[in-house]
Amino acid sequence: MQSPRDLLTDLWTSVGGDAAALDRVTLTGDEPQLPSSFRVDAAAQVAIAASGLAAAEIWAMRSGQMQDVSVDIRHAAIECRSERYLRRNDEAPTSFWDPIAGVYQVKDGRYVRLHTNFPHHRDAVCQVLDCPPEREAVQAALLHWDGEAFETAAYAAGGVVALMRSREEWQALPQAAALDALPLVEISRIGEAAPKPWPEGSRPLAGLRVLDLSRVIAGPVAGRTLAAHGADVMLVSSPKLPSVRWLVIDTGRGKLSSFADLTTQEGHASLRELLSEADIFSQGYRPRALAALGFSPEEAAAINPGVVYVSLSAYGRFGPWAERRGFDSLVQCVTGFNHAEGQAAGVTGPKELPMQILDHATGYLMAFGAMIAKARQAREGGSWHVQVSLARTGKWLWEMGRLPHGLATPEITPEVAAPYLDQVESGFGTLRAVRHAAILSATPAAWSRPSVPLGTDAPVWPASW
């Protein structure tokens, strides 16, 4: 198996990073840190280290000052499930899950996983099953369904579900072959523009403006990471869309938060105005969904030549599943992780990984790609498109190899995690939250703005500060 250092080297050089910069990175600690047969801790450490090194390299471009980057593997593992350790006014997180979310059996003896945290996704499942939103009723209805037929019908109705597949079953699908053709972090030039000069500032991303159009974990983690290195990050959401409040609190650190309903003329105009002054546009809509609203990568580059456009998808940018909705738990289930982890644990049915590592790692990879593309823009000009997906991150994790006795590792408890948490005030009260795991020697990561409720700020960029 490759060491975390080797994995970082491959990732860094895959996007054209200078190999000499790796000499300034220190990776500490040993795996495993969490109980899993997969190398979830290494994935956490490497993804965070890559984003930290990208920030350090941007600072070197801006200031001429080199600095060291260090990432401890335990800290990285804790940060990659930061929502579990968050405390608000000493209150622990409530359940993230809707009452009918989770694993069920279907009539062919297989298992399906339902993601029903958003009401419209729950309604779609219950419409297909013709049953009330109660666990017993859902299970009874599912026993009349073939697993793959239900998965197909639920997606067609607007739901998000996953049939548990083995790795071999997933690899036999056309979507797996489509992913095989994609790099982990894809960066492409999509337009012409002059290089933009770096603004004044004392941090790597100071003065840069980032639009964050994402929900749940991966995309919001990317925005939170860019904010940790000094960017002005504006989270843009719609008052019509549901959200998970605890995740908003955790991933909202460092961000402004405004509303813009893109289905209205006013909301469309607000986003267009924000985009015209943004450096990075980061979004987690399904492929081509924003294009229907006039904000495709090419349209964004026409509105603001020189922009870096970042796209997150569940299953990749092309292939028969490219436009499927997806969440970490579902991608884990459908691509073989839950099946393999269950086998390693000797349990019947699926077993989840100990954190939503596909979400968290992909979030750091998004931030990494955004910074690499922004550095290219400053050197050579152009508009740029960065593309990542949860399933492609899963392929990366799978190819790292397995830990034969990893499941025997004890859990990281809140008490063990406590030294990695800071206390801060926020728009939600007093928070105890995980600080960033990438330690930069000259420009320490920090969130200058508190987490605030959705829609707190007007959809306009603040004056430089």
- What pLDDT score does 464 carry? 60
396-407 pLDDT, tens per residue? 999 999 999 999
CA–CA distance, 5 with 27 (Å, rounded to integer)? 7
- Chain-wide mean pLDDT for the chain? 95
225-264 pLDDT, tens per residue? 999 999 999 999 988 888 888 999 999 999 999 999 988 9
Q: What is the CATH number of the domain that holds 406?
A: 3.40.50.10540
Three-state DSSP class for residue 310: strand
CA–CA distance, 100 with 95 (Å, rounded to integer)? 12
CA–CA distance, 291 with 295 (Å, rounded to integer)? 5
Q: Are the C-beta atoms of 60 and 70 separated by less than 8 Å? A: no
Sequential DSSP letters for 89-125? TTBPPPP-S-TT-EEEE-TTS-EEEE---SHHHHHHH
Domain range holding 276? Answer: 95-418+441-465
pLDDT range class, residue 287, cuts 50, 70, 90: low
Sequential DSSP letters for 350-412? ----SS-HHHHHHHHHHHHHHHHHHHHHHHH--EEEEEEEHHHHHHHHHHT-B-TTGGGSPP-
Average pLDDT over residues 78-91: 95
N-terminal to C-terminal alpha carbon distance within the chain = 46
123 burial class (0-12, 13-18, 19+ CB within 10 angstroms)? middle
223 burial class (0-12, 13-18, 19+ CB within 10 angstroms)? buried
436-461 pLDDT, tens per residue? 999 999 999 999 999 999 999 999 99
Q: Confirm whether 427 is domain-assigned.
A: no
- What pLDDT score does 423 carry? 95
Q: Are the C-beta atoms of 397 and 390 separated by less than 8 Å? A: no
Three-state DSSP class for residue 239: coil
Q: Confirm whether 190 is domain-assigned.
A: yes
Least confident window among 100-109, 239-248, 266-275? 239-248
Q: Confirm whether 22 is domain-assigned.
A: no
Q: Confirm whether 429 is domain-assigned.
A: no
Q: Could you give the number of structural domains in the chain?
A: 1
CA–CA distance, 281 with 309 (Å, rounded to integer)? 5
Residue 146: CB partners within 8 Å, gap ≥ 6? 106, 107, 108
- What pLDDT score does 269 carry? 95
- What pLDDT score does 465 carry? 45
Average pLDDT over residues 366-370: 98
186-210 pLDDT, tens per residue? 999 999 999 999 999 999 999 999 9
pLDDT range class, residue 326, cuts 50, 70, 90: confident
Q: Confirm whether 261 is domain-assigned.
A: yes
Q: Confirm whether 445 is domain-assigned.
A: yes
Q: Confirm whether 283 is domain-assigned.
A: yes
Q: What is the pTM of this model?
A: 0.96
Average pLDDT over residues 91-105: 85
Q: Confirm whether 270 is domain-assigned.
A: yes
Percent composition of the chain: helix, strand, coil (DSSP 3-state, to 5): 40, 15, 40
Residue 276 has pLDDT above 50, yes or no: yes
